[in-house]
Structure 1
Amino acid sequence: MVLLLLAACSGPSPAPDPVPTRPPGARWQPEPGTAWQWQLDGRVDPGVDVPVYDIDGFVNTAEDVAGLHREGRKVICYVNAGAWEDFRPDAGDFPAALRGKGNGWPGERWLDIRRLDALRPLMERRLDMCRDKGFDAVEPDLVDGYLHDTGFPLTAAHQLAYNRMLARAAHARGLAIGLKNDLPQIPQLVGVYDFAVNEECAQYDECAALTPFIRAGKAVFHVEYALTNAEFCPQARALGLSSMRKRLDLDPWRKPC
């Protein structure tokens, strides 16, 4: 592990991770085109008839997850991996030195992802929560801090090391893991992530960057907020994305392609 982290932090052009070999069925991996629901606002509303739900890992209970499983659904656990949130029950576990600038959302500050020693156990406890509640996968949010003004001198190499650490930790717990946004690092990370989650790739003309996941047989769960379905669905269908329109607060409403 130490050698891998050192390799990730040195050199201008990290090599792509190889696609791992594993026995069939060892870990859930959603296929391209799989329909989904993404609800982060409050306890889950289970009334949408789709095979995959992505819901908040703290707000929802093991009973909520079990109820979705009884309906034959897979469930993804949303956790914030890139920012400290003052409203989470484990907020006090994050040392003040790890907290950087605000990220625009109330009560949130970017994390210093260079500090793998401090963040790894904190994120592992969150992944333990997802596993113990019965989730099938995890969606770690804000894993592209190096592209933002965080208050820390983050580099692409720091981000690769952090994102690879998250993938290893999730897989060690039997959880699939999705890469959230971070389009520039898809070539390096598609081999170790099981699916992708993207916001507004059509809005910013970036959807083609997600095709490595599709070619690898892995789903790309995609939402747009501002565009109408007529504006983004034709391209989304052509690329094989699992696309829908959502409101920014991610309540139960959805309009799929």
Structure 2
Amino acid sequence: MGKTALGIGALGITLVGCSTSDGAPAVVGRVLPPANAAFDYQLGGAYEPTAATEIIARDRTATPDANRYNICYVNGFQTQPGETAMWLDDNPDLLLRDGDGDPQIDPEWPDEFILDTSTDEKRTRLEVIVGGWIDECADRGFQAVEIDNLDTYSRFPELLTADAAVDFARALSDRAHEVGMAIGQKNSAELVSRRAETAFDFAVVEQCNKYDECAQFTAGYGDVVFIIEYEREDFERGCVAYPQLSIVLRDLELSAAGAPGYLNESC
């Protein structure tokens, strides 16, 4: 029998008014994704999951699955492909710029501009925009949100800082919690130790077996760590080393089922 959104609490962990021993914030009335559950990462396009799948991550523009726990992907620190004009036209000063005034672009993702989190005023304005997306995720029926590119500051060390990233992350966590959603840290192992400041509830991690970072995430988040690997060797090693975690092997393009190159396996 399928699990419904009305019964989602049975899928995950609900903590009400609890404090944590590691200094992380209490979780009040929101449901965390269930640990060690079959997990699918569908950012390349939504498709019907397998019957065993309990957790799905989809883009914020996608429709959640009413029968599963849904994580809403939000690019919180960079622009999304196809949205550049919106930023350039409506909020050009919220794009990070160098000394010559040129907008900065992620060197690995040339269609993504960097958002400028360097000042309190800009973070406040960005929180209105990105926080609005979080609200939309909640309205659409997602139970949680993951915030991507927390580590953008590390690629622009002369213009951005980890402290500013942590401050902005906390604002987004507070926004998610206000609408009853859990919120996940995406990658950025170096910031796990600052969980009490960011107020993240769980972690979504790419390639932590490849880069030997999984232990850092489990130290900070316990078993509510959800891992995506893109190489079989890393996936298989992770399945042996971390049988208590949700680990999925995906193709690098995160293709939809039926598309060329589609790959999707779980431990």
Question: TM-score category by the smaller chain?
Answer: 0.7 to 0.9
**What's the CA shift for 1:77?**
0.7
**What's the CA shift for 1:157?**
1.0
**For 2:156, what is the secondary structure of its paired residue?**
coil
Summarize the Cα distance change of 1:86–1:204 in structure 2 as closer, same or farther, 3 Å threshold.
Answer: closer
Q: What does 1:110-129 align with in structure 2 at a 5 Å threshold?
A: 110-114=114-118, 115-129=122-136
Kindly provide the amino acid, as one letter, of the partner of residue 201 in structure 1: C
Q: What does 1:111-190 align with in structure 2 at a 5 Å threshold?
A: 111-114=115-118, 115-149=122-156, 153-189=159-195
How well do the aligned residues superpose, as a CA RMSD in angstroms?
A: 2.3
Q: Tell me the TM-score normalized by structure 1.
A: 0.80
**For 1:107, what is the secondary structure of its paired residue?**
strand
Q: What does 1:92-107 align with in structure 2 at a 5 Å threshold?
A: 92=87, 95-100=91-96, 101-103=104-106, 104-107=108-111
Summarize the Cα distance change of 1:94–1:138 in structure 2 as closer, same or farther, 3 Å threshold.
Answer: farther
2:248 corresponds to 1:244: yes
Query: Which structure has the higher relative contact order (CA within 8 Å, separation 6+)?
Result: 1
Q: What does 1:190-209 align with in structure 2 at a 5 Å threshold?
A: 192-209=199-216
**For 1:85, what is the secondary structure of its paired residue?**
coil
Instruction: Specify which of 225, 229, 236 is matched with residue 224 of structure 1.
Output: 229
In structure 2, the partner of 1:27 is 30
**What's the CA shift for 1:97?**
2.4
Instruction: Specify which of 81, 85, 92 is matched with residue 76 of structure 2.
Output: 81
Summarize the Cα distance change of 1:202–1:107 in structure 2 as closer, same or farther, 3 Å threshold.
Answer: same
Contact residue 138 and residue 170 of structure 1 kept, 8 A: yes
Structure 2 unaligned residues grouped into runs of 5+:
1-20, 97-103, 257-262
**What's the CA shift for 1:117?**
2.1
Structure 2: how far apart are the matches of 1:86 and 1:22?
Answer: 33
Structure 2: how far apart are the matches of 1:244 and 1:40?
Answer: 13
Q: Percent identity?
A: 31
Displaced runs of 4+ in structure 1, greater than 4 A?
A: none
Q: Tell me the TM-score normalized by structure 2.
A: 0.77
2:50 corresponds to 1:48: yes
Kindly provide the amino acid, as one letter, of the partner of residue 48 in structure 1: T
Structure 1: how far apart are the matches of 2:58 and 2:166?
Answer: 25
**What's the CA shift for 1:251?**
1.9
Instruction: Specify which of 240, 247, 266 is matched with residue 234 of structure 1.
Output: 240
Deviations 1:67-107 (A, max 9, x none): x22x3x11111111010124149934752222232112242
Structure 2: how far apart are the matches of 1:225 and 1:145?
Answer: 21
